[in-house]
Amino acid sequence: MTTQDIIKPENLVYTKTSIMNDRNMHYCPGCSHGVVHKLIGEVIEEMGIKETVIGIAPVGCAVFAYNYLDIDWQEAAHGRAPAIATAISRLLPENCVFTYQGDGDLAAIGTAETIHACNRGENIVIFFINNAIYGMTGGQMAPTTLEGMKTATCPYGRDVKLNGFPLKISDLLAQLDGTCYVTRQSVHTVPAIRKSKKAIRKAFENAMAKKGTSVVEFVSTCNSGWKMTPHQANMWMEENMFKKYPLGDLKDK
């Protein structure tokens, strides 16, 4: 049997989700954002909530997220995605609202909005992409940058005396009574991607059941910012990032 005989619609086992359109993504080759976009699209398609889901795009690399997934989107000012999500979820309680934010957006400029939205227990989902760096602006230090990690603004490594400690924001959010589900996942291997997909589904289900705020953190890579190949970046993440940001559920109620 030749390859051409196998390539028939009835034999298809995996392809791009219909929620994701044909526009080429602007992300660097090997960026974790693409995998997370794809997973969100797949979950929306499987749950059949395309017409009711509303995404809030952040400022950062994912600022053009609205170009790639064919659902309703609203762009927010830098860090203010949870505030916009609060408004939309209260005005349109039948809709399922999620924010998609990076670490510069959620853990730096948007810390107050994030913490207060979680503390109020808004029925929203927060997807948090943590790659320990400001990717879009050229690889500057973020609050989540690891101790000793080199970036454009700390070329000798992050000094905790000068710059403070890496901020474990998901651990912080898990302390709040408003959150119902806080988990930390990754998308670097097939098993990790499967687990992430389950976490995304659970977060959407929580939002639809009005259980409170769900936070799904993805420990991700920024191979351009870290100055590595995509594969090296995955290895580096496994060795260094997972020590500080261990994977697993932090809260599930």
Partner 1 sequence: MAKIKGAVVVNTERCKGCALCIEACPSDVLGMSKEVNTKGYNFVYMQNEDACIGCASCGYVCPDACISVYKVKI
In the complex, the residues that contact partner 1 under the rule CB under 8 A are 1, 3, 5-8, 11-17, 20, 24-25, 27-35, 38, 187-190, 193-194, 229-231, 234
Q: From the CB of 116, what's the least distance to partner 1, in Å?
A: 32
* Cα–Cα distance for residue pair 186/129, rounded to 1 Å: 9
Q: What letter would DSSP give residue 96?
A: E
By C-alpha distance, which of 73, 150, 80 is closest to 116? 80
Q: From the CB of 108, what's the least distance to partner 1, in Å?
A: 24
CA 188 to chain centre: 13
User: Looking at this protein, which amino acid is placed at residue 50?
Assistant: K
Q: Residue 4: is it exposed, middle or buried by C-beta count within 10 angstroms (0-12/13-18/19+)?
A: exposed
Q: From the CB of 8, what's the least distance to partner 1, in Å?
A: 7
Sign of the torsion angle spanned by Cα atoms 130, 133, 135, 141: positive
CB closer to partner 1, 7 vs 91? 7
Q: From the CB of 5, what's the least distance to partner 1, in Å?
A: 8
* Cα–Cα distance for residue pair 125/181, rounded to 1 Å: 9
CB closer to partner 1, 7 vs 162? 7
DSSP 195-231: HHHHHHHHHHHHHHTT--EEEEEEE---HHHHTS-HH
Cα→Cα distances 128→14, 67, 85, 101, 104, Å: 26, 19, 14, 5, 10
CB closer to partner 1, 39 vs 180? 39
Q: From the CB of 2, what's the least distance to partner 1, in Å?
A: 8
Instruction: Please say whether the beta carbons of 100 and 128 come within 8 A.
Output: no
CB closer to partner 1, 20 vs 56? 20
Instruction: Please say whether the beta carbons of 40 and 196 come within 8 A.
Output: no
Structural tokens at position 149: 């990690």
Q: From the CB of 229, what's the least distance to partner 1, in Å?
A: 7
CB closer to partner 1, 23 vs 90? 23
Q: From the CB of 198, what's the least distance to partner 1, in Å?
A: 13
CB closer to partner 1, 2 vs 243? 2
CB closer to partner 1, 183 vs 196? 196
